[in-house]
Structure 1
Amino acid sequence: MQKDIYVVGLMVDERGTKAPDVQQVITRFGSSILCRNGIPSPSRERGIITLTMEATANEYQKMEQELKSLHGVTIDCIHFSQPESFQVCETN
């Protein structure tokens, strides 16, 4: 199965109470996550998490469904197909 790259953005309302539920879902899909970045400012009610994943479409869709089922979680994604053809930089 082809694995593609997904850059996933999460907005978590009521961050203080929702973060453990979000973390449980992210942990279940941890083997597909290449990078995670979060803004955990305690003075804000919202939290922002970005994930970069290498996953099959099915793996991504399962994670997306679980996250969307959580009240107060908004998710959006950029999907890059065929990552094996990507070139980050070229040397001369």
Structure 2
Amino acid sequence: MQKDIYVVGLMVDERGSKAPEVQQVITRYGDKILCRNGIPSPSRERGIITLTMEATGEEYQQLERELKNINGVMVDSIHFSQPESFHICQ
């Protein structure tokens, strides 16, 4: 099954109260995440997280559904389809 690269952006409102639930979802997909970066917004009420992951379309869609089910979390992504000959450095 082909795995592609997804760069996923999360905007988390009320990050202080939503962070534990968001973290639980991200942890479940930890074996697919290549890189994670998080920064709070200047107001500190909103957080921004970016994830780079290597996953099948189905795996990505499940992550996205779980995150979007958390009230106050917005998700957007960029999808890069990998040709068979392209490999991620390990």
One fold, TM greater than 0.5? yes
Counterpart residue identity of residue 14, structure 2 = E
Residues in 1 aligned to 2:5 and 2:84: alpha-carbon distance in whole angstroms: 10
TM-score, scaled to structure 1 = 0.87
Counterpart residue identity of residue 47, structure 1 = G
Counterpart residue identity of residue 17, structure 1 = S
TM-score, scaled to structure 2 = 0.89
- Name the count of aligned residue pairs: 87
Q: Which has the larger radius of gyration?
A: 1
Is 66-75 or 40-49 further displaced after alignment? Answer: 40-49
Report the CA distance between 1:58 and its aligned residue. 0.5
Runs of 4+ off more than 6 Å: none
2:54 aligns with 54
2:37 aligns with 37
Q: Percent identity?
A: 80
Q: Which has the higher strand share?
A: 2
Structure 1, unmatched stretches of 5+, are 88-92
1:14 aligns with 14
What root-mean-square deviation, in Å, do the aligned CA atoms of Structure 1 and Structure 2 show? 1.8
Report the CA distance between 1:82 and its aligned residue. 1.3
Residues in 1 aligned to 2:21 and 2:59: alpha-carbon distance in whole angstroms: 18
Structure 2, unmatched stretches of 5+, are none
Q: Could you give the per-residue CA deviations for residues 26-59 of structure 1, whole angstroms, max 9, x where no partner exists? A: 0000000000000046851000000000000010
Closer, same or farther: CA 24–84 of 1 in aligned 2, 3 Å? same
Residues in 2 aligned to 1:40 and 1:20: alpha-carbon distance in whole angstroms: 15
- Give the secondary structure class of the aligned counterpart of 1:22: helix
Counterpart residue identity of residue 6, structure 2 = Y
Report the CA distance between 1:86 and its aligned residue. 5.3
